[in-house]
């Protein structure tokens, strides 16, 4: 997995705000904090479903699809964003595709309505840290813990009680510690096989060509719905999703 060093500038603005956020105390019950706060259009998961998600999962970085050899996992990073996430959701709905949204904690906190819409549409949530620091693997364990656990709480609160099922390190900056911590919280470390390069905004044709060329590398494909103008991503998805179906792929979620 290649790192996305180019993301640092945009997320530098977010990082400062993240440090000033007042968060739930460590170890506090998310369900207790969420009592009565579930969005009316989003059914609260059953206690058994939530408990299942909280069970420890494998610490290895997932790439495979739960749909097997012909499965494809669409993953959407860095949002939610009020301009682009709704458009991405519209395209996914048009083609009947479910995706995994890797959300930055501060973005989820700022746009809880969008987090709830993602969940209500049947997509899955992924913890993408509080402030998207791509140098997390160079930071102390205490910092890694704060970034992962605080983002988990922020996303869970914004969703109305639905927990992230995965953890994707910013820029792929995993450490043995961060993988173990995430897995202990029921969040499978999540990698990618195909980087669409949409973050660089190389043009819709280039994004499509990259995915088509690199799709044999594996099932998990990386896109973005925040961090700037994502119009190329939206248009690329309109072309890539039907193309993947034509190639005989089915759409699933990363294994847990």
* pLDDT for res 1: 54
Kindly state the helix (H) or strand (E) to which residue 227 belongs, with its residue range.
none
The DSSP result for 72-110, as a single string, is EEEEEES---TTTHHHHHHHHHHTT---EEEE-HHHHHH
177 assigned to some structural domain: yes
pLDDT tens-digit map of 210-232: 999 999 999 999 999 999 999 99
- pLDDT at residue 23 greater than cutoff 70: no
Mean pLDDT of the chain: 85
Calculate mean pLDDT across residues 105-110: 98
Beta-carbon count within 10 A of 255 CB? 20
193 assigned to some structural domain: yes
- pLDDT at residue 196 greater than cutoff 90: yes
Name the residue range of residue 132's domain.
49-62+71-248
pTM: 0.81
125 assigned to some structural domain: yes
Please confirm whether the linkage preceding 125 is cis (ω < 30° from 0): no
Give the residue from 54, 63, 27, 26 showing the smallest Cα distance to 183. Answer: 54
Which one is predicted more confidently, 41 or 236? 236
145 assigned to some structural domain: yes
Which one is predicted more confidently, 17 or 113? 113
121 assigned to some structural domain: yes
The count of domains in the chain is 1
Question: Catalytic residues, which ones?
Answer: 77, 224
Which CATH number belongs to the domain containing residue 158 in this structure? 3.20.20.370
14 assigned to some structural domain: no
- pLDDT at residue 158 greater than cutoff 90: yes
pLDDT tens-digit map of 33-81: 222 233 333 334 333 344 445 688 999 999 999 999 999 999 999 999 9
Calculate mean pLDDT across residues 142-169: 98
Tokens 């980087």 correspond to what residue? 195
* pLDDT for res 5: 44
179 assigned to some structural domain: yes
Dig out the tokens for 125 from the structure: 């949530």
* pLDDT for res 19: 38
129 assigned to some structural domain: yes
* pLDDT for res 95: 98
């Amino acid at each position: 997995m290649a790192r996305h060093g180019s993301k640092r500038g945009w997320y530098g603005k977010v990082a400062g705000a993240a440090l000033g956020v007042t968060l739930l105390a460590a170890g506090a019950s998310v369900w207790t904090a969420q009592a009565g706060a579930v969005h009316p259009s989003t059914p609260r998961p059953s206690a058994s479903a939530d408990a299942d998600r909280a069970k420890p999962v494998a610490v290895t970085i997932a790439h495979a699809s739960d749909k097997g050899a012909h499965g494809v996992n669409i993953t959407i990073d860095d949002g939610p964003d009020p301009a682009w996430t709704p458009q991405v959701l519209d395209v996914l709905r048009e083609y009947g595709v479910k995706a995994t949204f890797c959300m930055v904690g501060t973005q989820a906190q700022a746009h809880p309505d969008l987090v709830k819409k993602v969940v209500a549409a049947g997509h899955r949530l992924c913890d993408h840290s509080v402030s998207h620091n791509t140098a997390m693997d160079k930071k102390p364990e205490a910092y890694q813990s704060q970034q992962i656990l605080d983002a988990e709480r922020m996303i869970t609160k914004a969703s109305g009680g639905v927990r992230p099922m995965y953890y994707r390190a910013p820029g792929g900056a995993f450490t043995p510690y961060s993988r173990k911590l995430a897995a202990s919280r029921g969040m499978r470390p999540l990698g990618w096989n195909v980087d669409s390069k949409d973050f660089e905004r190389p043009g819709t044709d280039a994004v499509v060509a990259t995915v088509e060329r690199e799709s044999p590398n594996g099932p998990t494909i990386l896109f973005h719905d925040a961090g700037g103008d994502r119009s190329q991503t939206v248009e690329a998805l309109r072309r890539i999703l039907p193309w993947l179906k034509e190639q005989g792929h089915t759409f699933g979620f990363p294994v847990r």
